Amino acid sequence: MPREDVLTESLSLYDRMFYDALRIRLVEERIVDLYPSDRIQSPVHLSIGEEAVAVGVCQPLREEDLLFASYRSHSYYLAKGGDLKEMFAELYGKATGVCGGKAGSMHLAAPEAGLMGSSAVVASTISHAVGAALAAGRLGKDQLTVAVFGDGATEQGVFHESLNFAALHRLPVVFVCENNQLAVHADLASRQAYRISDMPKVYGIQSVRMERGYDLTEVREAMAESVNSIRETGGPRFLEVVTYRYKEHVGPGEDHDAGYRSQGDLDRWQAHDPLITDGERVARFTPEITAEIDAAAAFAEDSPWPGSDALLSDVV
Ligand SMILES: Cc1ncc(C[n+]2csc(CCOP(=O)(O)OP(=O)(O)O)c2C)c(N)n1
Ligand SMILES: [Mg+2]
């Protein structure tokens, strides 16, 4: 059964969010399974462990609200309403992919769902989000924009320039820092002499730090508070959500023996992860989601490759 049909049944808000988070996890676990076959044509940065952030952040948004993400964006593509079949086809490099097979995993975009772009260049989409918010205001649109980025991105100059510009012009942007406490193989303590949630305050932006990024309800409520405040009084807001990535930085593997983090950290995080601990909901929702993933993978498999005529389209 497709997601839209399942979600129109009378599920509680929590069930719907759980369903979406589990769907992201199962999609990425399928990517892990498929990866050795070389069907997937691009590097993959998996969000396994971080799904609750994407779902909690996207739930209070309207379809017309815009979101800009990083290369770790399968979760936002799906939570914002991107089409699963077209996502698989994109990963396979097929013509039916959401970007015609040219973007791959790191540059997913689905403007019709409000996912405006994602990029391999750390922090680069933060300024794009701010620009989109400026444009929406000038065009008189009642639209909110979200910039999603990692903890490492806060070390880039463009992060500070974007906060300053958004504060100065009171733009309707929610800055969401997905703090998984890691940038490639470097932990936070070895990189930052500041607290992330203190930086927005320098620019007069109200910020909230959430410690339990595995808690769907807490993330949603924090995001809803920011969204409502912007809709009522304007101006940017900042949400830092602490989370944890289970897989290696890039690729489908595990790297807990690589020496930069410990198995204990993973175990502590997983002990709270509802996608692991709530076996009843996992069992209830897995069959529908698996059927949808099977259909999406088959669609990608059966789809044609782009023709040579596609080489020069969409490049200027
Ligand atoms: C401008 C730029 N500098 C460096 C890199 C190399 N790089 C890729 S991912 C990454 C770490 C980013 O960490 P974070 O923002 O915390 O995101 P996460 O991968 O943890 O989600 C770096 C330094 C890059 N892609 N772009
Ligand atoms: Mg990080």
Distance 265 CA to ligand 2 centre (A): 15
Distance 93 CA to ligand 1 centre (A): 24
Closest by Cα among 288, 297, 299 to 22:
288
Dig out the tokens for 157 from the structure. Answer: 């100059």
Residue 258 resides in a domain: yes
Dig out the tokens for 231 from the structure. Answer: 């809709």
Tens digits of residue pLDDT in 266-315? 999 999 999 999 999 999 999 999 999 999 999 999 999 999 999 899 88
Amino acid at 306: P
* Long-range pairs of 275-283 with CB within 8 A, sequence gap ≥ 24: 275/18, 275/21, 275/22, 275/25, 275/51, 278/18, 281/15, 281/18, 281/22, 282/22
According to the model, what pLDDT value does residue 192 have?
98
According to the model, what pLDDT value does residue 137 have?
94
Distance 158 CA to ligand 1 centre (A): 13
Distance 23 CA to ligand 1 centre (A): 26
CB atoms within 10 A of CB 271: 10
Residue 205 in contact with residue 167, Cβ under 8 Å?
yes
Residue 188 resides in a domain: yes
Residue 211 resides in a domain: yes
Residue 315 resides in a domain: no
Domain limits at 290? 3-303
Q: What are the φ/ψ torsions at residue 179 (nearest 5 degrees)?
A: -90, 90
Atom in ligand 1 nearest the alpha carbon of residue 154: 15
Distance 308 CA to ligand 1 centre (A): 33
* Choice from 68, 122, 151 to test ligand 1 binding pocket (greatest atom count within 8 A of CB): 122
What pTM, to 2 d.p., does this model score? 0.97
Distance 159 CA to ligand 1 centre (A): 13
Residue 308 resides in a domain: no
Distance 149 CA to ligand 1 centre (A): 9
Residue 61 in contact with residue 144, Cβ under 8 Å?
yes
Distance 7 CA to ligand 1 centre (A): 34
Atom in ligand 1 nearest the alpha carbon of residue 180: 20
Atom 3 in ligand 1: residue holding the nearest Cα? 122
According to the model, what pLDDT value does residue 38 have?
96
Atom in ligand 1 nearest the alpha carbon of residue 156: 1
| Gap between the Cα atoms of 280 and 301, Å rounded | 32
Residue 311 resides in a domain: no
Number of domains in the chain: 1
Residue 314 resides in a domain: no
Atom in ligand 1 nearest the alpha carbon of residue 124: 1
| Gap between the Cα atoms of 224 and 220, Å rounded | 6
Atom 6 in ligand 1: residue holding the nearest Cα? 122
Q: What is the CA radius of gyration of the chain?
A: 19
* Long-range pairs of 308-315 with CB within 8 A, sequence gap ≥ 24: 310/95, 310/100, 310/101, 310/102, 313/100, 314/99, 314/100, 314/102
Atom in ligand 1 nearest the alpha carbon of residue 178: 21
| Gap between the Cα atoms of 90 and 285, Å rounded | 25
According to the model, what pLDDT value does residue 314 have?
83
Atom 11 in ligand 1: residue holding the nearest Cα? 183
Spans of the chain below 70 pLDDT: 1-2, 9
Which residues surround ligand 1 with Cβ inside 6 Å? 72, 120-122, 150-153, 180, 182-184, 249
Dihedral angle sign, alpha carbons of residues 226, 229, 232, 236: negative
Amino acid at 143: Q
> Which residues make Cβ contacts (< 8 Å) with residue 205, sequence separation at least 6?
163, 166, 167, 175, 235, 236, 237, 238
* Long-range pairs of 247-250 with CB within 8 A, sequence gap ≥ 24: 247/32, 247/46, 247/48, 247/49, 249/45, 249/182, 249/184, 249/185, 250/43, 250/44, 250/45
CATH number for the domain spanning 45: value is 3.40.50.970
Atom 19 in ligand 1: residue holding the nearest Cα? 183
Residue 316 resides in a domain: no
Atom in ligand 1 nearest the alpha carbon of residue 179: 16
Atom 20 in ligand 1: residue holding the nearest Cα? 183
